[in-house]
Structure 1
Amino acid sequence: MLRRILLLAIVAGIAGCGAFWWLTIPATIAAGALPAYQPNLANGRTTFNAGGCSSCHAVPKQDDRTRLGGGLAIPSPFGTFYAPNISPDPNDGIGRWSEADFVTAVMKGISPSGAHYFPAFPYPSYQHARIEDVRDLFAYLKTLPPVAGKVRDHDVPFPINIRRNVGVWKWLFMDDKPFVADATRSAQWNRGAYLVNGFGHCAECHSPRNFLGGIVAAQRFAGGPNPEGEGWVPNITEKGLSDWSAKDIAYFLETGQMPDGDSAGGSMVRVIKNTSQLSPEDRDAIAEYIKSLPPVEGPPKPKKKDAKES
């Protein structure tokens, strides 16, 4: 009887390891899957600003948004992540990456070496982007100045630091579905939906997360604790923005100024530096989409006096 139990345990262990290995196989996009394409650098710049690339990847404590040498510390409940160098530097940045490497990284969260990136890199939102926009972004990044300098390793404890585990996280929280326009809505609304849910990755900060770090789908956009550990990220559904008009939202994205005269604070200051570079049409599209979000009750705020919105 004991031998039978032991045998079953061994078989179950092997099956479990096999299932884990299969679920965590890194998904890649082959170069052969990318047909010949003439990049649109103007659209690449738009995508750069919509995606907020400089917010994380620009070298801290300097004003040039195009110096993408990385180094910004990104605290989280799971450890501190450090934004990598994504400048065209051939040694320390992405200068030697192929286009397929870049598309795979952005849309699949997989490095050129075949390792899973941690989802501090918001590829769960970027997965919904159009491949053409990602290719345009890559072409645009290659026009920016190379910045030398390696970024330090992430400060993440065991077992979170085992990247293979991220494959299970992706299986739980990523759907790998492209953006599909809503035929019942206007072109402007669909543009806003694409920007907000794709490169804009607004839900990544403006949604509460469960204990595994996945977005709570039922409270998407309903605000919650700041993922970086300080303050409270506001609810941007109609529950939180009922007093804002679409024009108020668009103006905020341009200037950082709120209808009550207050201004953006915390990490939103970095976001405004990006959205202010978008066209008025894109800001209007984002505003129209956000204003259309139905009211959703977010998690209760802590009663601490220092719980300020960022």
Structure 2
Amino acid sequence: MARSPRIIAGIVAVALVVGAAAAFAMVWRPAIAAIEPPSPASFDPAVVKRGRELAALGNCNNCHTRRDGQDFAGGLPVPTPFGVVFSSNITPDPQTGIGRWSEAAFGRAMSTGVNREGQHLYPTFPYDHFTNVTDEDDRALYAFLMTRPPVHAVAPRNELVFPLDQRPIIAGWKLLFLRRETFQPDPAKSAEWNRGAYLVDGLAHCGACHTPRNALGAERVRAQFAGGEADNWRAYALNDRAHAPVPWNAESLYAYLRHGWHPDHGTARGPMAEVVSNLSTVPDSDVRAIAIYMADVSGAPKPERNRVAVLAQAESAPAQGDPTGGAIYAAACAACHESGRPLPYGGVNLALSTAVTSPDARNLANIILAGVPAVAGERSPIMPGFAASMTDAQVASLLNYLRARFSKEPPWADVEKTIADARRTQTALLQTSAGPRDAPADPSQRDQP
């Protein structure tokens, strides 16, 4: 009997050793040897050109470039519920960028979220989508990035709460949420549909913004495209729960993604404006494929929800809502939004605006406060911002009036808090159709690497 405690202790010790070994195996990843930075001339120009298109589809420039920084040099703060993560430098600088990364190291980062040194990357870098990217496309992206000008720039230290500031913790997150399977085409669907699915679920990572997240920051798989958040903007639902007064179809999605506006839906704003700016530089076939896939995700629109019916209903509805908001609308908004001037240079009829019918008021508050700044050197939509000329109480009255006048939805809650949040965030940095940083200004040069 005296030997029993020793046996039990031995079993416990063995279990602890095995558990520690398993944990180590789960967390540890080997470093990949550094290389001498390859010469830009060593890459096939055709592959570099394809890589540039893929980088635009992935919106890489907007996450990896600080507002006042150099292209792809990182340092952009990405707020999360757990603190701030700063994007990394992905220029070929050998000290602070990826200049000493091999193609294999780059591919591992894309597919498993582990950097060259063997450290786990935070999932603000959406490798949970990039697992779907083919090796061929990874190679093209690598070629493009390694031919960019190197920039020596050290990203600020992440500002995360303990213990999430310890990278080994991310291995546990991956064990729970990182799906290792790659994209598999659906043989029952068209080639265009499958191309769109590959791009949306992979490099374009649309669900990263348009899907709600759970308490640990992972996308809720069963609520794919049910709406999410990005930079204090509401990323609207894209599935059958979409709140657009006139439902999207393949043609309207294509026009919106290609040109940044559609007469039934208005102009792109906030982070989405940056996305469509990049999409303006990629092959037309890829944009159309995305539209075809997403239209199928949204489902067939109901015939009674069409532009004519929505506008007729709005015109026949009795005037209602906050009278102070109505007076502000008449003085500051109606001249453009009721002018009948076509988009993108006229204001959208607000009965067609998803911002008015959305579950919360944040997008409409953002656009009222920040407006739509003109883009230097090109014709573009423009709207003045009213942050300096309206008080929070006036903005609240206007929001409440617009909700009551142009939608059948119930009043928004916590409008005052929404406005205060909008004033605090970077709505003043709102972009509309600014040219993407990695695209040539002259469209005739887009065939060049």
Q: TM-score range by the shorter chain?
A: 0.7 to 0.9
Instruction: Tell me, in whole angstroms, the C-alpha distance in 1 between the residues paired with 2:142 and 2:14.
Output: 46
Q: Describe the superposition over 1:119-152 as per-residue Cα deviations: whole angstroms up to 9, x where unpaired.
A: 0101100011000000011011122111121111
Q: Once the 2 structures are TM-superposed, how far is the Cα of residue 167 of structure 1 from its aligned partner? A: 1.1
**Residue 60 of structure 1 pairs with residue 67 of structure 2:** yes
Instruction: Tell me, in whole angstroms, the C-alpha distance in 2 between the residues paired with 1:259 and 1:191.
Output: 27
Q: Describe the superposition over 1:57-80 as per-residue Cα deviations: whole angstroms up to 9, x where unpaired.
A: 124236x7xx21111110001110
Q: Which residue among 214, 217, 222 is the counterpart of 1:218?
A: 222
**Residue 279 of structure 1 pairs with residue 286 of structure 2:** no
For the structure 1 residues 261 and 223, does the alpha-carbon distance in structure 2 shift closer, same or farther, using more than 3 Å as the test? Answer: closer
Unaligned runs of 5+ in 2: 35-42, 300-358, 361-411, 423-429, 431-449
Match of 1:250 in 2: 254
Instruction: Tell me, in whole angstroms, the C-alpha distance in 1 between the residues paired with 2:124 and 2:248.
Output: 30
Q: Is the 8 A contact 2:28 2:118 kept in 1?
A: no
What code does the residue aligned with 1:238 have? D
Q: Which residue among 191, 204, 213 is the counterpart of 2:195?
A: 191
Match of 1:17 in 2: 20
- In the TM superposition, 1:22-37 aligns within 5 A as 22-26=25-29
Q: Which has the higher helix share?
A: 2
Instruction: Tell me, in whole angstroms, the C-alpha distance in 2 between the residues paired with 1:97 and 1:130.
Output: 19
Q: For this pair of structures, how many residues does the alignment match?
A: 296
Instruction: Tell me, in whole angstroms, the C-alpha distance in 2 between the residues paired with 1:261 and 1:290.
Output: 16
Runs of 4+ with deviation above 6 angstroms = 27-31
Match of 1:123 in 2: 127
Instruction: Tell me, in whole angstroms, the C-alpha distance in 1 between the residues paired with 2:48 and 2:55.
Output: 10
Match of 1:34 in 2: none
Instruction: Tell me, in whole angstroms, the C-alpha distance in 2 between the residues paired with 1:261 and 1:196.
Output: 21
Q: Describe the superposition over 1:237-291 as per-residue Cα deviations: whole angstroms up to 9, x where unpaired.
A: 1321561121111111123224445322222222222222222111110000001
Instruction: Tell me, in whole angstroms, the C-alpha distance in 2 between the residues paired with 1:212 and 1:47.
Output: 29
Q: Is the 8 A contact 2:230 2:271 kept in 1?
A: no
Q: Is the 8 A contact 2:32 2:116 kept in 1?
A: no
3-state SS, counterpart of residue 84 of structure 2? strand
Match of 1:238 in 2: 240
Instruction: Tell me, in whole angstroms, the C-alpha distance in 2 between the residues paired with 1:104 and 1:149.
Output: 23
Match of 1:47 in 2: 54
For the structure 1 residues 203 and 91, does the alpha-carbon distance in structure 2 shift closer, same or farther, using more than 3 Å as the test? Answer: same
Match of 1:167 in 2: 171
3-state SS, counterpart of residue 163 of structure 1? coil
For the structure 1 residues 294 and 257, does the alpha-carbon distance in structure 2 shift closer, same or farther, using more than 3 Å as the test? Answer: closer
3-state SS, counterpart of residue 160 of structure 2? coil
Larger Cα-atom Rg: 2
What code does the residue aligned with 1:50 have? L
3-state SS, counterpart of residue 271 of structure 1? helix
Q: Is the 8 A contact 2:51 2:141 kept in 1?
A: yes
3-state SS, counterpart of residue 168 of structure 2? helix
3-state SS, counterpart of residue 238 of structure 1? coil
Instruction: Tell me, in whole angstroms, the C-alpha distance in 2 between the residues paired with 1:205 and 1:280.
Output: 23
Q: Is the 8 A contact 2:91 2:149 kept in 1?
A: yes
3-state SS, counterpart of residue 74 of structure 1? strand
What code does the residue aligned with 1:237 have? N
Q: Which residue among 139, 142, 147 is the counterpart of 2:146?
A: 142
3-state SS, counterpart of residue 266 of structure 2? coil
- In the TM superposition, 1:85-96 aligns within 5 A as 85-96=89-100
For the structure 1 residues 259 and 20, does the alpha-carbon distance in structure 2 shift closer, same or farther, using more than 3 Å as the test? Answer: farther
Higher mean alpha-carbon deviation, 164-173 vs 13-22, is at: 13-22
What code does the residue aligned with 2:273 have? V
3-state SS, counterpart of residue 159 of structure 2? coil
Q: Is the 8 A contact 1:26 1:167 kept in 2?
A: no
Question: Which structure's relative contact order is higher, taking Cα pairs within 8 Å and 6+ residues apart?
Answer: 1
TM-score between both structures, scaled by the size of structure 2: 0.60
Match of 1:158 in 2: 162
Q: Is the 8 A contact 1:49 1:278 kept in 2?
A: yes
For the structure 1 residues 22 and 209, does the alpha-carbon distance in structure 2 shift closer, same or farther, using more than 3 Å as the test? Answer: same
Q: Once the 2 structures are TM-superposed, how far is the Cα of residue 27 of structure 1 from its aligned partner? A: 7.9
Q: Once the 2 structures are TM-superposed, how far is the Cα of residue 21 of structure 1 from its aligned partner? A: 2.2
What code does the residue aligned with 1:104 have? R
Unaligned runs of 5+ in 1: 32-36
Q: Is the 8 A contact 2:113 2:120 kept in 1?
A: yes
What code does the residue aligned with 2:83 have? G
Match of 2:444 in 1: none
What code does the residue aligned with 1:57 have? H
Match of 1:288 in 2: 292
Q: Describe the superposition over 1:201-245 as per-residue Cα deviations: whole angstroms up to 9, x where unpaired.
A: 011111111111111111011113x154x2422101132156112
Q: Is the 8 A contact 1:30 1:100 kept in 2?
A: no
Higher mean alpha-carbon deviation, 149-158 vs 74-83, is at: 149-158
Match of 1:80 in 2: 84
Instruction: Tell me, in whole angstroms, the C-alpha distance in 1 between the residues paired with 2:91 and 2:152.
Output: 8
What code does the residue aligned with 2:85 have? F
Q: Is the 8 A contact 1:60 1:71 kept in 2?
A: no
**Residue 207 of structure 1 pairs with residue 211 of structure 2:** yes
Q: Describe the superposition over 1:9-29 as per-residue Cα deviations: whole angstroms up to 9, x where unpaired.
A: 655544443332233343889
Instruction: Tell me, in whole angstroms, the C-alpha distance in 2 between the residues paired with 1:253 and 1:26.
Output: 39
